[in-house]
Structure formats: C-alpha cells, structure tokens
Structure 1
Amino acid sequence: MIADKTTHRHFIIFKPFGYLSQFASNDSKQQSKKFLGSLHDFPEGIMAIGRLDEASEGLLLLTTDGKTSAHINSQKVDKEYYAQVDGVITNEAIEQLKTGVNITVEGELYKTKPCQAFKLKSIPDLPKRAKKIRDDRHGPTSWVSITLNEGKFRQVRKMTSVVGFPTLRLVRVRVGAIYVNAMDAGDVIEVDAFGVSIV
C-alpha cells in the first residue's frame, strides 16, 4: 500500500535546557551541541514550529505540515512563558511588561506589543533543569507569566531585563490551547492534530 502523501505527522515535545531547536547540523562548530533528533526518530520533513533558544525550555510543536507551522507561528496563536527572574518583580515592572517596552531587535529599537503578564503566586511545578539555577543565597527570585502573540528573538529575556529583572530560567508552557501539563524534559508525544483551527 502506498502511503498517502497528504498525511502529515505532528509532535509535542518538552525541549530540555541545552538543546538547539533543530535536528542536526553540518557546522563543525556545532558538533558538540545537542539536537532534537537525539530525542526521537522523527520523520523526514519534520520542522519545529518556532524556536526556543538553547538555554530555554518547554513546549515545542513539530510538524511536517507547512500550513500548520505558518498558522501557529502567526500572531493569531498565543504563546505563554514562565520566567524565573532575578529579584522580586514589582507591580510597576509587570505593568511595563503589559503595556509594552522598548527592546533591540536586529540593531533597531522595537516596542513590544501589549501582552498579558502577572506574577505567579507560587513556584510552578516544572521538570528539574539539567543545569542548576543559582540558589536564594545569592538573592531572591520570582516567577512571572508572560503571554505573547509575537516572537522576536529572545523577546521575553529582553523584556524582563529592560524592566530591571533579568530572566534566569525561561520555560514555554502553552501554545494556543496546548499545555505542557505533566510532561518531563525530553518527552515526545505524537498527536493526530494540534487542535488549532486553520482558517
């Protein structure tokens, strides 16, 4: 039986700290890096929908369908991040994040769009990170939720830094209606669809 060429495959993964959001590299400088391809035997033509930088963790969607990728990458789909920041974040800083702050993107000044942001009341239940964050002996930390529908390079890290609370740990916990829930670092789940309607 010949496989249906229109049948696409979709995966939800929890990208661990220290992994690049790509599957392999021919760059000799990157041979010591960790790639998504080592987490699972993914099909040919698979692509990451958006990226998380090497130090960031959490929900990453993969697909062989370019239309699905383009839709989820668009500003129609929210992405929520939990950021552990250096210091006890203030209400003033939260308000600045919500209304938009000036960051640098490709050498140009850019004002972020209004977004949802709030301080988490307790430490979120997340997988243990491969590399330990400094402990409270070096000063207090706090957690903030930031939900964006744009995705400039290292945007969340730049935003929290601008308001005076640099990010120590960054985890994407939601894309649209898809949550990391009880996934552990490195988990890979194949799904029939993402449940995100494409109009």
Structure 2
Amino acid sequence: MGYQYILFYKPYNVLSQFSEGSTPPTSDSASRLTLKDFVPIADVYPVGRLDRDSEGLMLLTDHGQVQHRLSNPRFAHPRTYWVQVEHRPAPPALAQLRQGVTIKGYRTRPCQVALMATDPPLPLREPPIRYRQSIPTAWLEMTLQEGKNRQVRRMTAAVGHPTLRLVRVAIAHLGLGNLEPGQWRFVTPRERQDLLQL
C-alpha cells in the first residue's frame, strides 16, 4: 500500500494533533477535541500545525519525507489565510505587512496581502467571534512563505489590527474546496503528483 495524503478542515477549538500529549490541562480539558475525533486513519501525522483557535486546511500524511520537507523552514512554500481583523487597515499598514514586520526580534519575510472586498464564504464559527458594534472589522487574504508560531496573528497585531478569526484556505496548490469544518478527504491523483514535486 502506498503513502496516504489527507486534507482536513480543522474546526475552531481543535488541537492539531492526535492526542492531548503534553498539552497543559485547562478547565475544559474534558471536552478538548483532537484530530482523532475526526480522522479515523491510523499512522498519519499533521504537516505543520494550526493553533487551537485557528481553523482551516491541514495536510496529514504517513510520508515522512513529504512531512519533513513541508515542515522545514528551509523549503518555503505558500500558505494562504483569510484573516478577519479589527478595523479596516489603511494602505500604510498593508504595505508594512507586505514588506515584513519585526516580531520578537525576528523580521518576517515579505508576503502577499490583499484587502478583501467582501466577507469570504465561510461557515459560521462556533462559538462566533465577539461582535462589537463600535469596532468594524475587515478581511485580509495573506499568503506567506513561512509559518512561525502564531505568525499571522502577531503580524496583524504589530500593525495595529488584532486578528479576530484566522482560516487557512490553501497550502501550496492544495485548497479547502468543498470541505466543511470537521470533514476530510484523500488528495486526488493530480494533487498527489503536484505535492510530490514541491
């Protein structure tokens, strides 16, 4: 049997691992969900991570070489996010994000950032984000070539626009497509071929 490659739409409040492992306990530990609550395939592992409070596309595989290559910062590949932020960023803030910002002594690489004209077609989040009538929100599409811990959230905060909701919609050529939160599917033969060429 060949290697397995799975695309999974991680919902909000789900750990991007198959067991709680060494994750510090919290008051809601009893209800903590992990990947094993959604994906009944043995011996596959996530390529990269999404924070518990982030949503969207994850790639799971048992192919160690692919996992290593896509997780290693030396081998850059695009990751695209839809990001809901507080207030509507002005052109200087968008330019700053594109050029890179300094976070904890690290300068992020240049990235693609676009202000979305309309809200993206996403399912409602459970629980919904906190809505405050006095603070408008906007959506950005951000494509990064790197994936440091909580990087998108730290980048938007650095330019004065805290992230309210974060959804990864693509990893390289792989996209969410018609998946709904909690759903998964195997990659197509063409997706697999392109994946192995990364």
Q: Given the two structures, how large is their TM-score scaled by the length of structure 2?
A: 0.89
Matched, 1:22 2:21: no
Q: Secondary structure at the match of 2:155?
A: helix
**Residue 76 (structure 1) shift:** 3.1
State the number of aligned residues: 189
**Residue 198 (structure 1) shift:** 3.5
Match of 2:114 in 1: 118
Q: Please give the alpha-carbon distance, in whole angstroms, between the structure 1 residues aligned to 2:197 and 2:174.
A: 15
**Residue 70 (structure 1) shift:** 1.9
Q: Is the 8 A contact 1:11 1:188 kept in 2?
A: yes
Q: Name stretches of at least 5 consecutive residues in structure 2 with no aligned partner.
A: none
Q: Name stretches of at least 5 consecutive residues in structure 1 with no aligned partner.
A: none
Counterpart among 7, 16, 21 of residue 12 in structure 1? 7
Q: Please give the alpha-carbon distance, in whole angstroms, between the structure 2 residues aligned to 1:70 and 1:127.
A: 32
Q: Please give the alpha-carbon distance, in whole angstroms, between the structure 2 residues aligned to 1:124 and 1:180.
A: 13
Match of 2:66 in 1: 68
Q: Secondary structure at the match of 1:113?
A: coil
Q: Please give the alpha-carbon distance, in whole angstroms, between the structure 2 residues aligned to 1:184 and 1:120.
A: 21
Q: Given the two structures, how large is their TM-score scaled by the length of structure 1?
A: 0.89
Counterpart residue identity of residue 49, structure 1: V
Counterpart among 51, 55, 58 of residue 56 in structure 2? 58
* RMSD after superposition: 1.7
Q: Please give the alpha-carbon distance, in whole angstroms, between the structure 1 residues aligned to 2:60 and 2:126.
A: 22
Q: Please give the alpha-carbon distance, in whole angstroms, between the structure 2 residues aligned to 1:25 and 1:80.
A: 27
Q: Secondary structure at the match of 1:96?
A: helix
Q: Secondary structure at the match of 1:60?
A: strand
Q: Which 10-residue stretch deviates more, 181-190 or 67-76? A: 67-76
**Residue 51 (structure 1) shift:** 0.2
Percent of matched pairs sharing the same residue:
34
Q: Secondary structure at the match of 1:71?
A: helix
Q: Secondary structure at the match of 1:133?
A: coil
Q: Is the 8 A contact 1:21 1:36 kept in 2?
A: yes
Residues 136 and 122 (structure 1 numbering): CA distance in 2 closer, same or farther, change over 3 Å? farther
Richer in strand (by share): 1
Deviations 1:29-58 (A, max 9, x none): 2642210100021222x1100000000000
Counterpart residue identity of residue 40, structure 2: D
Deviations 1:114-161 (A, max 9, x none): 111110111000121111112251410000111111111000000000
Q: Is the 8 A contact 1:71 1:198 kept in 2?
A: no
Q: Please give the alpha-carbon distance, in whole angstroms, between the structure 2 residues aligned to 1:177 and 1:57.
A: 18
**Residue 181 (structure 1) shift:** 2.1
Q: Secondary structure at the match of 2:194?
A: coil
Residues 87 and 194 (structure 1 numbering): CA distance in 2 closer, same or farther, change over 3 Å? farther
Match of 1:101 in 2: 101
